[in-house]
Amino acid sequence: MGLFNFFKSKEEKKVKLNRSVSKTSSKIYGGISSIFLGRKKIDEELLEEIEELLISADIGVVMVDAILESVRTESSRGELKDVDQLVASIKKVIVDIINVDVENNNDIQVDNDNDNDNDIDDDNDIQIPYQVLVVGVNGVGKTTTIAKLSNIYKASGYKVLIAAADTFRAAAVEQLTIWSDRIGVDIVTKDEGVDPASVVYTAIERVEKEGYEVLIVDTAGRLHNKVNLMQELLKMEKVASKNNGIGFSEKLLVIDATSGQNAITQAKAFNELIGLTGLIVTKLDGTAKGGVVINIINELRIPVKFICIGETVEDIIPFNAEDFVDAVFSNENLTKENTQ
């Protein structure tokens, strides 16, 4: 079974992406354009302004240094004549850097073969049962993202089970139960306060007995520096591996785009403990800090699998580095923003 027709046309996805990063692209592309206004040549003063802008756009100092080095070289050779050439050159540096080393980890994903067809690559069929653990700090959007993911897999024809291993608060179980009803997927719940590993145990038992193809496990928000909560994740992993020998096919960290450098600290801590297979970046809508996605990939070399752009189940897009960089360096939103 291939994934999927969920994200219909490329055009539709592009419109969605452009819309979702419009604040970021206004800042980045809009900023570059206004630096260029009334100026004819790319000189050191202009480059310094560009440098300042890129740093303020959260794409990371290391990346900005690499960009400036490349742009200075090209500009001294007279290769950059106008704003379009400059932007094209910046985009190329970013895509070249973030596409290295992060491409090979794409079970859940995505049209990474650059053939520009529908998003999820049919060659990357998931191994069944596909068992996904979703982790992250409080309020980043784990539960909402799980709803979105289950909706995608259900719509793609898989038999989906979700597990409410956030037993910390009864409200968390209720929230996931509401989503499961709305989407029409089955759910495993237990009482508040029960060991989350026992929820995982029961869920995997059901996967085995009832033939579920996709299992997605929700967990309680935990601060990466709280040792006992982090140990709890290891216990869930152990139970998962013991139970059907598969363990978790994916360990996804959800991070909030608006949390900036903090997201990187979180990702490092979770990665050291459980070895993440991917990231999902939420709340890109409504922030001008979308550049942080570039910084995150560059610093962590962990693939971003999806980005989330709102609170409904449709507000999720598979991540593709080139498309993303195109969108934040695009003038399409600029015109829209300016005419609003």
Contact residues for Mg ion, defined by CB under 5 A: 142-143, 172
Strands 160-165 and 278-282: unpaired
282 binds, among Mg ion, ligand GDP, none (CB under 5 to 8 A by kind): ligand GDP
Q: Is position 142 an interface residue for ligand GDP (rule: CB under 6 A)?
A: yes
Token pair listed for 265: 């600290």
141 binds, among Mg ion, ligand GDP, none (CB under 5 to 8 A by kind): ligand GDP
State the DSSP string of 54-100: HHHTTS-HHHHHHHHHHHHHHHHTT---SHHHHHHHHHHHHHHHHHS
- Binding segment for ligand GDP (CB under 6 A), chosen from 34-42, 195-203, 310-318, 326-334, is 310-318
Q: What residue type is assigned to position 296 of the chain?
A: I
Burial zone of 100 (CB within 10 Å; 0-12 exposed, 13-18 middle, 19+ buried): exposed
Give the one residue of 308, 317, 321, 328 binding ligand GDP; rule: CB under 6 A.
308
Nearest in space to 242 (alpha carbons), one of 194, 197, 187, 186: 197
Angle at 283 between CA 280 and CA 284, to 5 degrees: 90
Give CA 69 to chain center in angstroms: 28
Give the one residue of 65, 84, 311, 314 binding ligand GDP; rule: CB under 6 A.
311
Q: Is position 157 an interface residue for ligand GDP (rule: CB under 6 A)?
A: no
Cα–Cα distance measured from residue 151 to residue 10, given in angstroms and rounded to the nearest whole number: 19
Nearest-approach distance from CB 87 to ligand GDP, in angstroms: 27
How far apart are the two ends of the chain, measured CA to CA in Å?
43
Q: Is position 310 an interface residue for ligand GDP (rule: CB under 6 A)?
A: yes
Q: Is position 267 an interface residue for ligand GDP (rule: CB under 6 A)?
A: no
Ranked by CB distance to ligand GDP, the top (closest) residue is 141
Nearest-approach distance from CB 19 to ligand GDP, in angstroms: 13
Q: Is position 141 an interface residue for ligand GDP (rule: CB under 6 A)?
A: yes
Strands 160-165 and 130-135: unpaired
Give the one residue of 65, 69, 139, 226 binding ligand GDP; rule: CB under 6 A.
139
Complex with ligand GDP: residue 212 or 306, whichever CB lies closer: 306
Q: Is position 283 an interface residue for ligand GDP (rule: CB under 6 A)?
A: yes
The residue assigned the tokens 């990474």 is 112
Token pair listed for 143: 């539960």
Nearest-approach distance from CB 221 to Mg ion, in angstroms: 6
Site residues (vs ligand GDP, CB under 6 A): 136, 138-144, 221, 282-283, 285-286, 308-311, 315
